[in-house]
Structure 1
Amino acid sequence: MDEQKENRGMIQRATDDNDGDEDRCRQDSLPLDLAMDLLSRLPAKSIARFLCVSKHWSSFTTVPSFTKSFATRCSAQPPSLLVTFSKNLKRFVFSFPQDQNLDGSYPPVYSYQMTDTDSWCWNHSQSIHGLVLLQGSVIWNPTMRRFSTLPTPTTNKTVSYLGYDPLEDKHKVLCLSKDESKQPRVLTLGAQESWRIISKDFPLHYPYRDCHGQCINGILYYEACFRIGDGGERRIMSFDVRTEKFDSIELPEFYLGSYPHMILYKGRLSIVEIRSLPSIDIWILKDGDSSHKYWKQKRFNLPLSEIDPIKSKILTFNGVSDTTGELIFTLWRFSDSFWVLYFIMRSESIREAFFEGVFGDDFRCCYGLDSYGIHSIDVIPNHYESLVSL
């Protein structure tokens, strides 16, 4: 009852200047907890449309219990693959089911277009519990179709990372200067706070590349460099999103990859290295290694002979399924269909998913797309719908 009173108070404060709104009068005849439960069961695109009905309707999505209920329901469902590309100052976004063996005429779960979004650099992070970080400290919520530019914490050149703490249900952005003498800063999203300086237990390092890293089970991993003399030593840094503590991990001695993709393999931190298909190397951090420097290498071979020879030549690695642990490959372009290849490491086998009818001739004509397919697509796995509003 106390929570319901608190929720009603939050909604009342958000709609104080809308006393004559007929929608609110009708809504007041329905118990608040029942109304919120019904709304939380609707698809995200329907909820997004309801935001435009009135301030009263919009205020529902700011109530923590409502957004948490919606997030819990979405997390229990299979994640999605987001596919996005740009054409003629428009950005197109498609969502496809992930981790499901679909073969045939399956359209996207949803699709939409946005205009004038490519003024930002479209270098992006993975989807972190429904949010994506774009280069330039822009937060994108694909579900709500909203972009929020974060305040610049410093005039120095910086690299930002997006993390999520599942225990406290908080997103945080870690900002590092390329000058390792500058202290890092942290911003908790949605908390109406300013950037905070982390002054304790900060090992001097700087971002090695303008990459967004990976967040796994509340730990943010990214590539860093420690200055040694006139050169530098590459390492993996870990940042606990909840405690805001740093730690460093030595890269494998014979690791040659440029952009380490960190995953959990059989419960242990691992790095996927793909230099030349069909060979796939997984570097696995050994159990009980308190020094964080002993790795074991395991090699897999992708059975390319089982797929179309043309497809095997234009495969792109797009990450790992958080739910099944399978490696995800797509083509670096698509036309009127979209094809996904999953590599199951435990059995060294593959499965395919095929989506037809993504767009047809009318769509091509309307937006000036050629018949040879869309190039330079971005694929973002493990996306869950989110109502988080910044």
Structure 2
Amino acid sequence: MDEQEENRTKMERATHDNDGDDDRCQRDSIPFDLALDILSRLPPKSIARSLCVSKLWSSFTTLPSFTKLFATRRSALPPSLLVTFSKNLKRFVFSFPQHQNPDGSYPPAYIYQMTNEDSWFWNHSESVHGLVLIKGIKGSVIWNPTMRRFTTLPSPTTNTNIDKGSYVMSYLGYDPLEDKHKVLCVSKQDSEQPRVLTLGAQESWRVISKGNFPLHSPIGDHHGQCINGILYYDAYLRIGDGGERRIMSFDVRSEKFTSIKLPDFYSRLQIHMIPYKGRVAIVKVASLSSINLWILKDGDRHIWKHKIFVLPLSEIDDPLRGNNLSFSGVSDAGELIFTRWSLSKSFYILYFDLRSNSIREALFEGIVGDDFRCRYGLDKFSIYSIDVFPNHIESLMSL
């Protein structure tokens, strides 16, 4: 008996009263498939609460059929923008609409707080199809913001120090064809073989054989960029007795590596990669007056196209608001996102549309106002350590 059939039987038994009135119980019972359909229409907040009802209810949310049904329904909705910050050993999580609102104000879709999690956020990936990879003190951690769950991944066992955080980089990828998340673990010692872990598959780390990957070591602490099932990250490729800085690409489904030569600008600075019209691109924001973008046109022939943009701050009411902004990624609509690096009396984001060379300002309500500070006992000083996750989708993925 498979898991779904077993849960179906348990639910049918649970819906029957013990008074022996089978006819009434039969009328009152809810078919299993109908119950899953009803649950899949609930908002994630309600589904998360249902985990505490009983083990039976909790088991429903982990069924592959239910998670796929939920994902299908939520996929029709636009992605959201997650904003988090830490204060007084508490981390606050906000979800805001990412789409354009005519009046420019955005009330939060939901808000919640966690305790003692702030130390996990010093290094993290972007939201990859609903999940975030965090470099924690004890190893890699997967955060599901929708389910409010943190799961520490097992450390891969090797002959060297790959299981020690300072010697490895971990990357989170997603294959949309097979609907699978995978974590790639690459040692900074280029002689060590990479490991792959498929999330939710109840399997161990797998070794990628030496014949399937070029010798390389990751550069920096950035968690890469996953675009259409391909994971990209900055690395140093071993070539003969020397080496060369490259962008490594990893096909999440086939688990094959290729290397891509960098454009001619070569910089020793950390490379920030973004998706641009379905392709990988490198963005360099020296200042808001000069935004350089290199778009990969042909990975096999290492051909890049260079574009320069200027942020039109004159289009917003107060151009001074452009100060103290940092680049925080790109939206699903192809807009560059600039956010404040601290919170005081208000929180806003600037979206720069590369196609129309226009800018829009989004003011987020309910995040640092007096009512919020009073409710959670926050002082009036500025709040730092702000993390922004564009293009977040709601997921019930369970590990």
User: 1:37 is matched with which residue?
Assistant: 37
How far, CA to CA, are the matches of 2:126 and 2:17 in structure 1?
Answer: 38
Aligned with 1:361 (options 359, 370, 383): 370
Aligned with 1:344 (options 335, 353, 362): 353
How far, CA to CA, are the matches of 1:118 and 1:283 in structure 2?
Answer: 34
User: 2:336 is matched with which residue?
Assistant: 327
User: 2:148 is matched with which residue?
Assistant: 145
Q: Which moved more, 1:305-314 or 1:166-175?
A: 305-314
TM-score (norm 1): 0.90
User: 1:223 is matched with which residue?
Assistant: 234
Instruction: Give the secondary-structure state (helix, strand or coil) at the position aligned to 1:137.
Output: strand
1:23-80: per-residue Cα shift (whole Å, max 9, x none)? 9989981111111111101100000111111111111111111101111222221111
Task: Go from structure 1 to structure 2 and tell me whether the alpha carbon gap of 1:321 and 1:373 turns closer, same or farther (over 3 Å shift).
Answer: same
1:184-209: per-residue Cα shift (whole Å, max 9, x none)? 00000000000000003210001111
| Sequence identity (%) | 70
User: 1:49 is matched with which residue?
Assistant: 49
Task: Go from structure 1 to structure 2 and tell me whether the alpha carbon gap of 1:354 and 1:228 turns closer, same or farther (over 3 Å shift).
Answer: same
Contact 1:278–1:304 at 8 Å: present in 2 too?
A: no
Q: Which moved more, 1:236-245 or 1:33-42?
A: 33-42
Name the aligned partner's letter for residue 240 of structure 1: D
Deviation at 1:253, TM superposition (A): 1.1
User: 1:208 is matched with which residue?
Assistant: 219
How far, CA to CA, are the matches of 1:355 and 1:329 in structure 2?
Answer: 13
Contact 2:97–2:106 at 8 Å: present in 1 too?
A: no
TM-score (norm 2): 0.88
User: 1:174 is matched with which residue?
Assistant: 184
Name the aligned partner's letter for residue 129 of structure 1: H
- Residue 291 of structure 2 corresponds to residue 295 of structure 1: no
Matches within 5 A, 1:219-298: 219-227=230-238, 232-256=243-267, 258-287=269-298, 290-292=300-302, 294-298=303-307
Contact 2:228–2:278 at 8 Å: present in 1 too?
A: no
How far, CA to CA, are the matches of 2:125 and 2:28 in structure 1?
Answer: 41
Instruction: Give the secondary-structure state (helix, strand or coil) at the position aligned to 2:60.
Output: helix
How far, CA to CA, are the matches of 1:269 and 1:95 in structure 2?
Answer: 26
Contact 2:8–2:32 at 8 Å: present in 1 too?
A: no
Alignment RMSD (CA, Å): 2.6
Matches within 5 A, 1:94-173: 94-101=94-101, 103=103, 106-135=106-135, 136-154=139-157, 155-156=161-162, 157-173=167-183
User: 1:311 is matched with which residue?
Assistant: 321
1:158-193: per-residue Cα shift (whole Å, max 9, x none)? 110000000000000000111111100000000000
Instruction: Give the secondary-structure state (helix, strand or coil) at the position aligned to 1:305.
Output: helix
How far, CA to CA, are the matches of 1:345 and 1:214 in structure 2?
Answer: 19
1:323-373: per-residue Cα shift (whole Å, max 9, x none)? x11111122123353312111111111112222232433432454433343
1:219-246: per-residue Cα shift (whole Å, max 9, x none)? 0000011246886421100000000000
Task: Go from structure 1 to structure 2 and tell me whether the alpha carbon gap of 1:37 and 1:43 turns closer, same or farther (over 3 Å shift).
Answer: same
Name the aligned partner's letter for residue 363 of structure 2: F
Aligned with 1:379 (options 375, 382, 388): 388
Structure 1: 5+ residue stretches without partners? none
Moved over 4 A (4+): 18-28, 228-232
Name the aligned partner's letter for residue 253 of structure 1: D
Q: Which moved more, 1:183-192 or 1:97-106?
A: 97-106
Instruction: Give the secondary-structure state (helix, strand or coil) at the position aligned to 1:206.
Output: strand
Contact 1:102–1:354 at 8 Å: present in 2 too?
A: no
Contact 2:142–2:152 at 8 Å: present in 1 too?
A: yes
Query: Number of paired residues?
Result: 381
Task: Go from structure 1 to structure 2 and tell me whether the alpha carbon gap of 1:47 and 1:103 turns closer, same or farther (over 3 Å shift).
Answer: same
Q: Which moved more, 1:45-54 or 1:273-282?
A: 273-282
